[in-house]
Structure 1
Amino acid sequence: MALGKVSVNNLNLGQGAVTEIERYFLFIGPAPKNVGKLLPLDTQSDLDVQLGVPASDLKTQVQAARLNGGDRWAGVAAPIADDITWQDALEHATRSYSVEGVVITSPVTTAAELSAMHDAAIELSNRLGRRVFIAAATPGIAPEQNWSAYVTEQKAIVDGLAAPRVMPVPQLHGNNLGVLAGRLANAAVSVADSPMRVATGAVLGLGSEPIDQEGVPLPSAVLSQLDAARFSVPQSYPDYPGVFWGDGNMLDAPGSDFQVIENLRVVDKAARRVRILLIQRVADRRLNSSPNSMATATTALMAPLRQMAKTVNFAGQQFPGEIEPPKDGDVVLVWKSKTAVEAYLKLRPLNCPKDLTANIALDLSPDDSE
Structure 2
Amino acid sequence: MTWPTVTVNQVNQLLGETTEVERTLLFIGSGTVNVGKTLAVNAQSDFDELLGADDSPLKSDVMAAQANAGQNWWAFIHVLDDEEAQESAWVDAVMAAQLVCSVEGVVLCDDIISKTQINQAATLRANLIAKYGRWVWFILAVQGMQEDESQADYLERLATIQDGAAEKSVQLVPRIWGNEPGVLAGRLCSRAVTIADSPARVKTGALVSLGSDELPLDGAGRTVEVATLQALEAKRFSVPMWYPDYAGFYWSDGRTLDVEGGDYQTIETVRIVDKAARRVRLLAIAKIADRSLNSTPGSIAAHQTYFSKPLREMSTAANINGVSFPGEVKPPQDGDVSIVWKTTKAVDIYIVVRIYETPLTITISLLLDASLENAA
TM-score range, shorter chain: over 0.9
Deviation digits for residues 301-353 of structure 1, max 9, x if unmatched?
A: 01110111111011111100111111000000111111111110001111111
CA contact (8 A) 1:118 1:134 kept: no
Letter in 2 for 1:73: W
2:303 equivalent to 1:297: yes
Give how far 1:2 is off.
3.4
Deviation digits for residues 199-239 of structure 1, max 9, x if unmatched?
A: 10101111113211221011111101100000000010000
- Give the match for residue 335 of structure 1: 341
Looking at structure 2, the residues matched to 260 and 13 of structure 1 have their Cα atoms a distance apart, in angstroms, of 36
Identity %: 43
Cα gap change, 1:73/1:368 in structure 2, threshold over 3 Å: closer, same or farther? closer
- Give the match for residue 139 of structure 1: 143
2:130 equivalent to 1:126: yes
Q: 1:242 aligns with which of 248, 259, 272?
A: 248
- Give the match for residue 13 of structure 1: 13
Looking at structure 2, the residues matched to 149 and 214 of structure 1 have their Cα atoms a distance apart, in angstroms, of 11
Q: 2:221 aligns with which of 211, 215, 223?
A: 215
Classify the secondary structure of the residue corresponding to 2:111: coil
Q: How does 1:142-221 map to 2 (within 5 A)?
A: 142-208=146-212, 209-221=215-227
Deviation digits for residues 74-133 of structure 1, max 9, x if unmatched?
A: 100001114541012111101221100000001111112211111111111111110000
Q: How does 1:274-313 map to 2 (within 5 A)?
A: 274-313=280-319
Q: 1:97 aligns with which of 95, 101, 124?
A: 101
Q: TM-score, with normalisation over the residues of structure 1?
A: 0.98
Letter in 1 for 2:336: D
Classify the secondary structure of the residue corresponding to 2:92: helix
Looking at structure 1, the residues matched to 57 and 375 of structure 2 have their Cα atoms a distance apart, in angstroms, of 69
Classify the secondary structure of the residue corresponding to 2:366: coil
Letter in 2 for 1:59: K
Classify the secondary structure of the residue corresponding to 1:106: strand
Give how far 1:369 is off.
6.7
How many residues align? The count is 370
Classify the secondary structure of the residue corresponding to 1:283: coil
Classify the secondary structure of the residue corresponding to 2:112: coil
Classify the secondary structure of the residue corresponding to 1:104: strand
Looking at structure 2, the residues matched to 256 and 37 of structure 1 have their Cα atoms a distance apart, in angstroms, of 37
Q: 2:269 aligns with which of 250, 263, 279?
A: 263
Q: 1:252 aligns with which of 253, 258, 264?
A: 258
- Which runs of at least 4 in structure 1 moved beyond 2 Å after TM superposition? 367-370
Unaligned runs of 5+ in 2: none
CA contact (8 A) 2:32 2:82 kept: no
Letter in 2 for 1:292: G
Letter in 2 for 1:173: W
Cα gap change, 1:369/1:121 in structure 2, threshold over 3 Å: closer, same or farther? closer
CA contact (8 A) 2:91 2:120 kept: no
CA contact (8 A) 1:141 1:210 kept: no
Letter in 1 for 2:205: G
Unaligned runs of 5+ in 1: none
2:237 equivalent to 1:231: yes
